[in-house]
Structure 1
Amino acid sequence: MTKPLLCLLLLLPCLAAAQSFDDGYYPFAVREEPQPMIETDTTLFYRAVQAAEDAYGRITDFNLPQVSLRRRGQEFRDERIELDGIVVSWRHTAALRLLGAAEEHTAGIAAESDAPGAAGGVRRFVFTPDEALTPHLASVRLTDRNYRVGAKVSSSLDVGRGWRLRVAADARTGRDMHVEGVFTNALTAGFHLSKRFAGGSELSLLAVVPPSVRGTRLSSVGEAFTLTGDPLYNPAWGFQQGRVRNSRVRRECVPLGVASWRMPLTAKTSLALTLGGEAGLRRYSALGWYDARTPMPDNYRYLPSYTGDRESEQAWRSRDARYTQVRWDELIAQNRLAGGEAVYALEDRVERIGDVQADAAFVTELDGRLTLRYGGWVRRTSTRHYKQMRDLLGADYLVDIDQYLVDDDTYGNLLQNDLRHPDRRIGRGDRFGYDYTFVVREAGVRLQAAYRSDRLRADAALVLSDGVIFRRGHYEKELFPGSLSCGASRRLHFTPYTLRLSAGWAFTPRHYLSAALLAAARMPEAEALFFQPQYNNRTVDDPAAEKNYAAELAYRMTGPVVGLEVTAYATLRLDAAQTQRYYDDMAGLYCDMSVSGIGWRALGVEAAADIRLSQRWSLALAASVQRSEYVRDPLVTVLSDADNTVVDMRAVSRMGGCVPGGAPRATACAELAYFGPKGWGCRLSAGYVGGRYAEPSFLRRTDRIASQGGTSPELFDAFVRQERLDDALTLGASLFKSFYFDRSRLVAALMLRNLLGDNDMVYSAYEAQRVRRIAAGDQTLWQPHATRLTYALPRSFYVTVSYRF
């Protein structure tokens, strides 16, 4: 019985034979066959060698250790993702792939597509009219990460009269086998309908609906992981009547719709019109406590290092759920003793999203070599934020007042969250706490000129736009009456721009050198422009657009045995900003903090090589070195949350030399693949990431915190020293088998990740804002709170079977 089961497991994995990415787990399905060696060397390949494949990203996106990485120092939002000229969210990319959209990805600023370029690269999806040889797909998968079982189907159909329909669905369900409380129940369904008319016009309609419910895990401190002996300890869950319940659950459904029309205007000019957008809800649950002790079990006040009692330490070491997890039954009991009003409750932080975009793109072929692309777009994003009661945990109601001010001697008589509906009793499903909308409007024009010859390619792109951001409050906060909290705030205007120049020369059909320059300004995130957007219309004093400057130099070589790509890059970001609400221990106040003038740079080199060792063996190598660091000391302004009085004004945060979190000094990856006879094959990969640091805190490096708290060299060092994370090293392996039939193909694969079983590999980390007060005789000492950590998952598996026909 054991041997058949083992054989079944070995056969199961490689899902989509035509699937380029499968949830990030197995992207090799389209490459599980050896490709024929190409010996020819003709001028037809001049343009082929110019095409940017991003070999480094192809090799490392999947094979590097599962740690949080900021490639080239860039943030996740720096990558532009677009479909037919409009920007789409990352949440829809898997559905677009499943529907058969072709994907073009360019790292950095050397964009080869119609997009003008972005600091973090461009990912462009395009639906082509080409019909696949095997238009139907059915697959199933098993895994131990995030969910247990998944299935997907897709089909491309000719529905008559020139219409072609593509439909797809992907479902996932089950609990994570490693982290308690983590689960996924998700279904993504979509269709793409297109028709090509006489004369060359084409109509395209797309709709994607992705509802999902996911239980998540929270970061914690090193003490909690050490005491429990579990690097995957998750403080978000607990037992309720003997069953596991997670307090942090994401529920979202944000459908996407896109309609596009392409038409030729003249023999040399064509026009593409696109209208699209997404609208829906995102909810994230969290426990709320009202004039009561925090229910989070890993709060520093509950840990043995603070309590100092042996009983707490023993309970943590024995993983007593009454100490280490959320005590749901106790919270319900406390509510019932309170006489009807909730002391604890489960809240939903809700975002109601409405994003509409329209784009007009013209393409004019002046001759066989010069192409002009020009057009314009408009975009309006409206995101409404509010809290909604999910579960009163046995209580009857909650009064909608500011619970943080109940015991405040100065502001305890200004408690109303909604002054126009005072002392409103909240029940399940009611909104409370805060209610406001961010509105972002932007319109712009673009022009791109592209010259192509056999050897030379040159591009110049210019984008100019005008944007406005404002907040509209729907509650009148008693602390900030009238227009201070309710109604529209002042409008903040920005004039973003992008200027990109690039050129490349093919010395031979195998050797190509290119360079690119970028200067851009973009609107900051709306959240970074308001001290307390939940109930205050006050904007930051010096709003400014973020400035981005970048340069790249790339060399590419192609050959029948070796393909090589080397890119040197330099990136500089200035005038970035962020805001945050937190409890300031030294001031003894809830405060709002604005950080302005953030600046960092990244200098580095990336290299990738594909080596054809033989007809059946291939080797892929990738490596990078970079120096990413803050180059400016930003200014920190701290205001009292209750009355906007100044706690610290434009204090200098000494960030010089600190490294942005997730920006490693070095990465390396190797992948060895074997393509055996009769469809068998295997892969072995290794990845390394070194020189990582925890995300630094701006507040801790101001004089008020570091100098006042750092009364000794050791304490001062604790405030300003950035914690370095251990280097990460993992191994992975996969085994696959392809079965060929008349006009169809069955693919199965088994993949194992983190074969070393390293349980101490940190996924990400960030420094805490708060500091701890320590009474030592007649003196008061301060020390920073411990760094918050999230560990990577241990050894895990992924099994998939797909049939394409």
Structure 2
Amino acid sequence: MKQKLWLWLFCLCALPAFAQTPAGVSGKVIDELTGDPIAGVMVVLRENNQTAYTGEDGAFVFHPVTHGKDVLSLNAADIQSKEIPVDIPRESSLDLGIIQVTRRPMPVQQLAGVIDEAQRATEDDDTGLSQDVSAMVIFSNDVFLQNAGYQFSQFRFRSRGYENRFEDRYINGVNFNDQIRGVFNYSSIGALNDMTRNGDAVNYFAPSSFTFGSIGGSENINMRAGNYTRGGKVTLSLTNRNYYARAMGSYSTGMQDNGWAFTASVGGRYSHEGHIEGVFYRNISYFVGLEKEIAGGKHRISFVTFGSPVERGQQGSSYQEVYDLVDNNLYNPNWGYQNGKKRNARVVKSFDPTAILSHVWELGENTTLTSGVAAHYSRYGGSALNWYNGPDPRPDYYRYLPSYNRDNQKAFDYYTYLWKTSSDESIAQLDWDKMWEANHLNNLQGDGSAIYMVEERRKDLFETALNSTLNTQLSPEVKLTAGIGLKHSLSKQFKTVDDLLGAQYVLDIDKFAERDFAGDRELIQNDLERPDRKVYTDDVFGYDFRFRVNSADIWWQQEHTYRNIDLYYGAKLKYTQFQREGKMRNGRYPANSLGKGKMHRFTDYATKAGITYKLNGRHFFTGNISYQTMAPLVDNVYISPRITDLTVNNMKSVRVFSADLNYIFSLPSLMGRVSVFNTHFYDDVDHMSYYHDSERTFVNHVLSGIEKVHQGIEVGLNYKLNENWNFDVIGTTGEYYYANNPEGVISYENGKGDIMAETAYMKDYYVGGTPQTMGTFGINFFYDYWFLNLNINGFAGNYIEIAPFRRLASNYAGIQPPGTGGFDENLYDAYRFFTHQEKFKGGYTL
């Protein structure tokens, strides 16, 4: 009897437990235009403080959840954000069914914050596992970065003033920053827009699933064939830029039932002449991708190959005096008529064929290993005029301008009259026929060598790279990401004879050395192994050398995600070595120009950490800090790499310290970010080359030990009035300046004078080349897949990069500041005049 009583009591207590089913929320997100499911949308159940991702079928599920009223938020970088009020029943699940969202057009520049696919692969929402609210939903839709990259690009804006070498670019998990200049070659993917829209991006030094990161941010373009939606697409665009027409066509099978996927695309850009005279553009691009899923998707093997050969005429810069004389701010001095047709002297020809083989291996339910190997060869050449024993053929050469004759009123008026009233374009443009005539006369009356010719300066690059990245979810709160990277680079730099302009040959000697050292036949030789060599069309001459760079790195980072706090930390170790190899024994440096030079080695490290405090699902406070060392770029450390192996003394790794604080918010109608940042660069190196008019030769100037400070504030706001109207307010203001007086080394390519080391006064001057204050107000309208945008952009604080040669210490020896002994007001005023940094006027565009 007692046993039966206990059995009845147990059943009575258990009945409520079996009768009460925990509540849940589910649904499926699709493109309202095509009906295709959308993977990777981050779905947030705000009051429950939970986050889920849509799978490949667009589905998501939350289970268990607390009943009551809540708000479901859907976010991704390529959709219009959407919020849906929901009322979760007490004892049953809520199935929202099909949820339609609007996809928005997103330029390549706006790939800032696409949800990480590798992260999605380690999270199985179908099991009912969901997490506390993730800050990533807000960061992936960063208002400032999504707008700044596109709206400010016309002003040469650089986020936080950072150079492009501080941005990491990957394709299918393989790093594609070259090791010579440190940058990604965007022309390699020109006219392949449809193939580059998918990807993962990381803001600044935030944690990532594919790289340790960099202060300028990171991006991984996903070109795997199985990631494209099934179907075809043809696009025709017209514009008024360097090209006026662009056409693209693409087709993809999507991932088929047999586990195969195929994607192909062709594109092109063309203009016979753009909106700038003499500028043309000819480009055709291709892409082919193949992917195979094995063992039910446990292995994904992908192969892609693409290229974008291009030939384009360039615009040249000139003086404000010339723009005023011709009354045209788009004046281009690079072209002239030849046989009645326009010909540009500055033509770029480039082709960067690339192949990538990658493998994604799901090692377990929460662990993925992504590996890839890539190879590409970049053929890059730019043509330019060269001349020997003849007048400068450039129409805007400063001696041909009225201002050069300012002390002679008659000559000044004459040249002004020629520039302003003459209909003969040989005054303002290149005179190709005159150059041919000079060469023809030298064939008849001289030795037949070229007085004028066109050369092509080549910078070819062959690279191979391997990257492997492990992503594993150690626990619901802890994620570990680790990776290795290997890269080999071979840079071939030389120049060839492109067009003799009717001459018979070119003599391979240095024209500036011949002028200054006429009696020294050895010193003037470009190659002592082949003295006084005559070169013909397509022959290599002048200089010919190689850079070999090898690197290896290993890194890890760990992320902790809790209800109110997220934090991350990580470290990286990298080894780099590089070497120059000369193919010519130069007469100015016979002992250290030919053969393999000294091997330079660097071991560098990086650390980073960050924390996010989540006040709730709408307000976040974050802080990030990093310190790293980086091997100097091989392109910067050699004093005169064309002719010698000499480098700056006491070469050091560049050191970078960076920190920022951010407030990020996402309200029903208003979202955005406010940030302050501070970055210090130490022991940086910069290399510049220019023609020294007083010495009448080319000069190489290398600065080492440079210190710079970049600090400022960023604001990005978006206000959503309704489903059709929203408004953007984006702005940044900062101070990017030099913090010391670095040491400079000057070398004359014609061998005139010894290599000279001297301090350059650069402290407190601004970093040039980018606006330090930038802002835009945008009005956006969307209705039935019609998009209209109006932006008012303003800029200020755009300084011209200072010339270190004008600020050498020896130029101003003995000049004393006011209030000191020996002060001379005239000398001091001259010092102020010559060292004053010029600044462009501010402006706006609509």
TM-score bracket for this pair, using the shorter chain length: 0.7 to 0.9
Show the 5 A alignment for 1:750-765: none
Q: Which moved more, 1:61-70 or 1:209-218?
A: 61-70
Q: State whether structure 2 residue 840 is matched by structure 1 residue 725.
A: yes
Q: State whether structure 2 residue 796 is matched by structure 1 residue 690.
A: yes
**Structure 1 residues 372 and 113: alpha-carbon distance in aligned structure 2, compared to 1, 3 A threshold:** closer
TM-score scaled by length of structure 2: 0.79
Give the distance between the partners of 2:430 and 2:711, measured in 1 at CA. Answer: 45
Post-superposition offset of 1:456:
2.6
2:147 aligned partner: 59
Q: Which moved more, 1:658-667 or 1:250-259?
A: 658-667
2:584 aligned partner: 475
Q: State whether structure 2 residue 275 is matched by structure 1 residue 168.
A: no
Q: Deviations over 1:624-657 (max 9, x none)?
A: 12111111111112234344853642x2212122
1:5 aligned partner: none
Q: Deviations over 1:275-326 (max 9, x none)?
A: 0121131010000112322211111111111145222211212364222111
**Structure 1 residues 576 and 67: alpha-carbon distance in aligned structure 2, compared to 1, 3 A threshold:** same
Q: State whether structure 2 residue 207 is matched by structure 1 residue 91.
A: no
Amino acid at match of 1:234: N
Q: Which moved more, 1:614-623 or 1:42-51?
A: 42-51
Give the distance between the partners of 1:104 and 1:509, measured in 2 at CA. Answer: 23
1:435 aligned partner: 544
**Structure 1 residues 374 and 44: alpha-carbon distance in aligned structure 2, compared to 1, 3 A threshold:** closer
Amino acid at match of 2:312: R
Match of residue 632, structure 2, among 524, 527, 552: 524
Post-superposition offset of 1:152:
0.4
2:440 aligned partner: 336
1:654 aligned partner: 761
Amino acid at match of 2:638: F
Amino acid at match of 2:200: E
Q: Deviations over 1:123-162 (max 9, x none)?
A: 2223578766663211101122111221001111157731
Post-superposition offset of 1:48:
4.9
2:661 aligned partner: 553
Post-superposition offset of 1:232:
0.7
Match of residue 297, structure 1, among 395, 402, 417: 395
Q: Which runs of 5+ in 1 are unaligned?
A: 1-16, 19-29, 732-805
Amino acid at match of 2:344: N
Contact 1:145–1:176 (Cα < 8 Å) also in 2: no
Other structure's SS at 1:338 match: helix
Computing the radius of gyration from Cα coordinates, the structure with the larger value is 2
**Structure 1 residues 711 and 105: alpha-carbon distance in aligned structure 2, compared to 1, 3 A threshold:** farther
Give the distance between the partners of 1:580 and 1:48, measured in 2 at CA. Answer: 41
2:468 aligned partner: 360
Q: Deviations over 1:583-614 (max 9, x none)?
A: 44555665432211111111111111111112
Give the distance between the partners of 2:139 and 2:208, measured in 1 at CA. Answer: 7
1:324 aligned partner: 428
Give the distance between the partners of 2:710 and 2:86, measured in 1 at CA. Answer: 39
2:417 aligned partner: 314
Contact 1:531–1:580 (Cα < 8 Å) also in 2: no
Give the distance between the partners of 2:788 and 2:421, measured in 1 at CA. Answer: 42
Contact 1:532–1:581 (Cα < 8 Å) also in 2: no
Contact 1:47–1:455 (Cα < 8 Å) also in 2: no
Amino acid at match of 2:211: A
Post-superposition offset of 1:34:
6.4
Contact 1:700–1:706 (Cα < 8 Å) also in 2: no
Amino acid at match of 2:805: L
**Structure 1 residues 587 and 407: alpha-carbon distance in aligned structure 2, compared to 1, 3 A threshold:** closer
Match of residue 631, structure 1, among 711, 718, 739: 739
Amino acid at match of 1:69: F
Contact 2:337–2:343 (Cα < 8 Å) also in 1: yes
Contact 1:111–1:122 (Cα < 8 Å) also in 2: no
**Structure 1 residues 50 and 232: alpha-carbon distance in aligned structure 2, compared to 1, 3 A threshold:** closer
Match of residue 232, structure 2, among 136, 139, 148: 136
Give the distance between the partners of 1:717 and 1:596, measured in 2 at CA. Answer: 24
Show the 5 A alignment for 1:294-693: 294-308=392-406, 309=411, 310-318=413-421, 320-339=424-443, 340-409=448-517, 412-414=520-522, 415-482=524-591, 484-585=592-693, 590-643=698-751, 645-646=753-754, 648-649=756-757, 651-676=758-783, 678-693=784-799
Give the distance between the partners of 2:435 and 2:752, measured in 1 at CA. Answer: 34
Q: Deviations over 1:540-597 (max 9, x none)?
A: 1121211111101111111221112112111111111123344445556654322111
1:80 aligned partner: 168
Post-superposition offset of 1:489:
0.9
Across the two proteins, how many residue pairs are aligned to each other? 702
Post-superposition offset of 1:172:
0.7
Give the distance between the partners of 1:271 and 1:632, measured in 2 at CA. Answer: 45
Other structure's SS at 2:486 match: strand
Give the distance between the partners of 2:139 and 2:689, measured in 1 at CA. Answer: 46
Contact 1:437–1:472 (Cα < 8 Å) also in 2: yes
1:219 aligned partner: 317
Post-superposition offset of 1:354:
0.3
Q: Which moved more, 1:292-301 or 1:145-154?
A: 292-301
Other structure's SS at 2:497 match: strand
Give the distance between the partners of 1:461 and 1:94, measured in 2 at CA. Answer: 34
1:207 aligned partner: 305
Give the distance between the partners of 1:223 and 1:189, measured in 2 at CA. Answer: 44
Q: State whether structure 2 residue 118 is matched by structure 1 residue 118.
A: no
TM-score scaled by length of structure 1: 0.82
Contact 2:495–2:540 (Cα < 8 Å) also in 1: yes
Q: Which runs of 5+ in 2 are unaligned?
A: 1-35, 38-75, 89-130, 177-183, 816-824
Other structure's SS at 2:494 match: strand
Give the distance between the partners of 2:809 and 2:350, measured in 1 at CA. Answer: 42
Q: Deviations over 1:183-208 (max 9, x none)?
A: 11001111221111115111011111
Other structure's SS at 1:117 match: coil
Give the percent of matched residue pairs that are identical in Structure 1 and Structure 2: 25
Other structure's SS at 1:336 match: helix
Show the 5 A alignment for 1:768-779: none
Give the distance between the partners of 1:401 and 1:436, measured in 2 at CA. Answer: 17
Q: Deviations over 1:747-778 (max 9, x none)?
A: xxxxxxxxxxxxxxxxxxxxxxxxxxxxxxxx
Give the distance between the partners of 2:541 and 2:623, measured in 1 at CA. Answer: 54
Other structure's SS at 1:428 match: coil
**Structure 1 residues 31 and 497: alpha-carbon distance in aligned structure 2, compared to 1, 3 A threshold:** closer
Post-superposition offset of 1:74:
0.6
Amino acid at match of 1:121: G
Other structure's SS at 2:427 match: helix
**Structure 1 residues 587 and 183: alpha-carbon distance in aligned structure 2, compared to 1, 3 A threshold:** closer
1:766 aligned partner: none
Amino acid at match of 1:333: E
2:41 aligned partner: none
**Structure 1 residues 409 and 94: alpha-carbon distance in aligned structure 2, compared to 1, 3 A threshold:** closer
Contact 1:567–1:606 (Cα < 8 Å) also in 2: yes
Amino acid at match of 2:565: L
**Structure 1 residues 707 and 686: alpha-carbon distance in aligned structure 2, compared to 1, 3 A threshold:** farther
**Structure 1 residues 554 and 671: alpha-carbon distance in aligned structure 2, compared to 1, 3 A threshold:** same
**Structure 1 residues 662 and 406: alpha-carbon distance in aligned structure 2, compared to 1, 3 A threshold:** closer
**Structure 1 residues 31 and 571: alpha-carbon distance in aligned structure 2, compared to 1, 3 A threshold:** closer
Other structure's SS at 2:615 match: strand
1:700 aligned partner: 806
Other structure's SS at 2:681 match: strand
